[in-house]
Amino acid sequence: MTNGATSPVTAATLKVEHSPLLSPTSSQSVTETVNGSHRFVIQGYSLAKGMGIGKHIVSDNFTVGGYRWAIYFYPDGKNPEDSSTYVSVFIALASEGTDVRALFELTLMDQSGKGKHKVHSHFDGSLESGPYTLKYRGSMWGYKRFFRRALLETSDYLKDDCLIINCTVGVVVSVIDCSRLHSIQVPESDIGAHFGMLLENMEGSDITFDVAGEKFHSHKLVLAARSPVFRSEIFDGVDEQKKEMVITDLEPRVFKLSCDQTASNT
């Protein structure tokens, strides 16, 4: 090979280093509804009737899914073309919001006890176009022809000049959920057992206790960390470098039990 020439790269000379394979990651998108309900009692229906087409009675605001909502009841209807033939009921977004997606249910309660409520619901069937979208504050969903007024006034829905409307709102929310996919079971601590093994095999021991002639090998740091008495005896004495201590006021079996409990409570 002459100066300045390059040698060919062959399979034998080419060495490719592969980076280690990283563990795969994963996440899960969960779309669900945050649901809440409000009961709107309309007392004095006969006095509200005749207020005019497009005129309404409105409930107090209630909060579902971080947004405020209100129920609008039109005793003479909302649509001028219907000439007060129907009552109208709507649910409105009462707070600031853009493109709020939600499911709705409006129920006119049967007050006879028979349970034959008048229900208009998004919740009990599949929606071809998905949840309803409210574009801005004041946007409404409901029915201009909710119930024919002449029938309403002779029905079990009206009792003692009172109507009860129950509204359920389900605000659609989407979240990324990783907790169930990456949950880690943390085992119970077995450090006490490990310290107990140190007492048994004397590995790394740096102090010896002479108790009535019986020798016990242990570790200064472990005993000092777990027992104020041992800490005082080991480190607060005149000679901190001492390798052996004589215990005169305990029997060997009592001293061993004390050391075992000190280690196991770690």
Give residue limits of the domains in the chain: 31-174, 190-265
pLDDT at 129 over 90: no
pLDDT at 9 over 50: no
Helix (H, G, I), strand (E, B) or coil at 67: strand
| Topology annotation, domain 31-174 | 2.60.210
Average pLDDT over residues 166-189: 76
Average pLDDT over residues 41-51: 95
pLDDT at 72 over 70: yes
Q: With 0-12 CB in 10 A as exposed, 13-18 as middle and 19+ as buried, what is 82?
A: middle
pLDDT at site 77: 94
pLDDT at site 117: 93
Question: Predicted confidence band at 125 (pLDDT cuts at 50, 70, 90)?
Answer: low
Which residues, at least 6 apart from 224, have a Cβ–Cβ distance to it below 8 Å? 230, 231, 234, 235
Q: Tell me the angle at which helices 252-264 and 191-201 cross, rounded to the nearest 10 degrees.
A: 150
pLDDT at 15 over 80: no
Average pLDDT over residues 89-107: 92
**Pick from 188, 193, 189: which is nearest to 264 by CA?**
193
pLDDT at 248 over 60: yes
pLDDT at site 6: 47
The first and second tokens of residue 101, run together, are 């997606």
Q: Which regions of the chain does DSSP assign to beta strands (E)?
A: 28-43, 57-58, 62-64, 67-74, 86-93, 100-108, 118-121, 132-134, 140-148, 162-177, 207-211, 214-218, 244-247
pLDDT at 13 over 50: no
Choosing among 1.10.10.10, 3.60.110.10, 3.30.710.10, 1.20.1260.10, the CATH entry for 190-265 is 3.30.710.10
pLDDT at 87 over 60: yes
Q: Do domains 31-174 and 190-265 have the same CATH topology?
A: no
More confident residue, 176 or 105: 105
pLDDT at site 106: 93
Question: What is the identity of the amino acid at 202?
Answer: M
CA distances 179 to 172, 174, 243, Å, are 21, 15, 51
Q: What is the DSSP letter of 159?
A: B
The span from the CA of 104 to the CA of 70, in Å, is 12
Percent of the chain scored above 70 by pLDDT? 73
Cβ distance 75 to 45 under 8 Å?
yes
Average pLDDT over residues 51-71: 95
pLDDT at 231 over 70: yes
